[in-house]
Amino acid sequence: MSITTHHAHRRKRPVYLPVLLFALLFVALGCRPLSTQVAGPPTPSPTAAAAVGPGGATTGTRPPTPPSVPGSTTATPSTTAGVPVPTASAKPVPPVPTGGSTTVVAGVRGRVQVRNNTVVTDQGTLLRAGTLWYLNYSSGASQVLWAREAATGDAFWTTLKANNLNAVRVAVSFNEAAESPTMAQITAYLDKIIAKADAHGMYVMIDYHSALAADANEQYTIERLRTFWSTIAPRYANRTNVLYELYNEPVTWRPADYTAQNIADQKEIYRLIRSKAPDTHTVILSFAVPANYGADSPPTMLSIASQFDGVVDWSKTSVGFHAYWETSSQPWVKLKASYPVICTEFMGPAGVVAEATSFDGSRWTAEVFERQGISWVGWNITDTENDISTILPDLRKDATSKSYWWKADQGA
């Protein structure tokens, strides 16, 4: 068959077929322009890309929201006086690497907040914490051994949850004594503790705690503070269940003993922490005793705190104080009227433990804090296996009998 014959006998294409095919394609694409349907790979968000820099250090923007996990749920945020209250997510979170990496991940708990001039959880509840010692005091062997067990076992955390506690303050010393841990040991330990706390829905306060507390001539050295926070601040900057305490009892012992140099040092280290952890709540000043020998005469905690106006961001900063040696809560009541506060140490019960002080006639100062709406950390309620099994139950019995026992928050 010739070429001419072949073309002559080929069936002609209906003229309506191209029109029909185009119409079907147009409907299949949802009647939208092709430019919106066909696209290349998505462009990374500039904010997400900038959230974590080399080595996991933050670069000034919030980390991207973790991807959702099938089967996970997040409670609808509630409000308090029109302010949204972030709620804890049920999404699992990978643990902090323990091999010295600076890569960090956001925790299950949202960051603490400042409300009613105290520090509260992501649920708006008070922080109620015990203490662990990561200090190589020769006299504190039982505390150190218990702290190490808490990093690997679950008994500590189970007991905290059973008593409706939601945080732990980890007292850490660094090169302040011959037997103090190295920075590598400190970070390895904190990695484990923070991961444990996160798994149990709890917060961790990292407290730089000098081993020279008995030496008023060398309560701290600014060089060690710089070294410590230059490493710690960025390492846990993205851990939303972590907050920092700049320095435990930087001055011995009362507000009147703070010098201009002490205040300048606090401001310097605060700026250092903020430059490396812009969103992490930081406790400053940490007064060892709340007043000057029974009188709230100047300089007071309030007058010293006022010197930080314009330096600190009070939405992410609080003034720490310890409830020792005095008997009236009025000094911290006056402070709370103007600045966010948190008690990061007290002991109890008064009349039983030698160092414990009765404030406002209370047997346990926790009663005063609960009635005043102030977050607190007990020094001797969880620091040893003996204390957590004897002292903590005493606090619970007192709180239950006097109707100041607290409820568990939604994360713990």
Nearest to 333 by CA among 299, 363, 360: 360
- Residue 317: strand pairing partners: 282
The answer to which of 144-153, 199-208, 236-245, 304-313 has the lowest mean pLDDT is 144-153
78 strand-pairing partners: 85
The H or E element that residue 352 is part of is none
Q: Residues with Cβ < 8 Å from 410, sequence gap 6 or more? A: 75, 87, 88, 123
Task: Give percent above pLDDT 90 in the chain.
Answer: 59
Residue 16 reports pLDDT greater than 80: no
**pLDDT the model gives residue 45:** 29
- Confidence (pLDDT) at 412: 62
In contact, 64 and 53? CB cutoff 8 Å: no
pLDDT value of residue 139:
46
What pLDDT band is residue 152 in, cutting at 50, 70 and 90?
confident
CA torsion through residues 18, 23, 26, 27, sign: negative
Asked whether the beta carbons of 159 and 378 are under 8 A apart, the reply is: no
Q: Which of 311, 320, 318 is nearest to 272 (CA)?
A: 311
Cβ atoms of 364 and 398 within 8 Å: the answer is yes
Q: Going by C-beta distance under 8 Å and a sequence separation of 6 or more, which residues neighbour residue 39?
A: none
HEC-encoded secondary structure of 76-122? CCEEECCEEECCCECCCCCCCCCCCCCCCCCCCCCCCEEECCEEECC
Rounded to two decimals, the pTM is 0.74
